[in-house]
Amino acid sequence: MRAITFDIETANVFSATSRNDLSQLELSIVGIHDSETNEFSSYTKEELPKLWQILEKADMLIGYNSDAFDIPILNKYYAGDLTRIHSLDLMVEVQKVLGRRIKLQSLAEATLHVGKSGDGLKAVEWWAQGLIDKVREYCIDDVRITRQLFDYALEKGLLKYKDLNTIRDIKIDTRNWLTPREAPSITHTLPF
């Protein structure tokens, strides 16, 4: 099963008048980990045709807040519909158990004993300053954390989070995570 773990960064933030309107956000960088090659890579808007060829061969997309944020933004640039690819959103999986959202930072610190290397607002600033490589590194760091959390949950059946100063377990049902789904029929950028 070819799984693509991914994260996106944006070039801007929600304006004061368009709060939470994803159509107002512009993509800056997409970072991925490809389970087939075990490699990390990143793509700007101009490089997206290379990414589409990878995503169209994927059996599964893995992200954090990806169903509500990353995939809808990426879909603005894609000729097809990325929601047709099986998706596993780790934030949704955690929310199913806890009934609330948990920040990636909290899971990373408690489960993996690592912190994030920045945040989305900093990434927007770096992008505006022309620090593209810094945005790429930050995005890939988030992809790495997301992939490590996915692997940890598969192995242990749980993730951990910080609740004030207490580390708590979140029991995660991963039994169906790797169950193959019907192959999506999307070939919008590949040659026929």
Helix (H, G, I), strand (E, B) or coil at 153: helix
Which whole number is the average pLDDT over 178-188? Answer: 64
Q: What is the pLDDT of residue 13?
A: 76
**Distance, CA of 136 to CA of 39 (rounded, Å):** 14
- What residue type is 140 in one-letter code? I
> Which tens digit of pLDDT belongs to each residue from 118-130?
777 788 888 889 9
pLDDT digits over 6-16, tens only? 999 999 877 64
pTM of the predicted structure, to 2 decimals? 0.90
Q: Per-residue pLDDT tens for 58-115?
A: 999 999 999 999 999 999 999 999 999 999 999 999 999 999 999 999 999 999 998 7
pLDDT digits 0-9 by tens, 2-46: 999 999 999 987 764 456 778 788 999 999 999 999 999 999 999
Which of 77, 95, 59 has the alpha carbon at shortest distance from 8?
77
Name the residue with higher pLDDT: 183 or 100.
100
Q: In this model, does residue 172 exceed pLDDT 70?
A: yes
Q: What is the pLDDT of residue 17?
A: 43
User: 87-89 and 39-43 as β-strands: parallel, antiparallel, unpaired?
Assistant: unpaired
pLDDT at 56: 94
Q: Going by DSSP bridges, is the β-strand pair 3-10/60-63 parallel, antiparallel, or unpaired?
A: parallel
Q: Classify domain 3-171 by CATH architecture.
A: 2-Layer Sandwich (3.30)
Classify burial at 134, counting beta carbons within 10 Å of its beta carbon; exposed 0-12, middle 13-18, buried 19 or more.
middle
CA 143, distance to chain mean position in Å, is 6
Burial class (CB in 10 A: 0-12, 13-18, 19+), 59: middle
- Kind of pairing between the strands at 3-10 and 87-89: unpaired
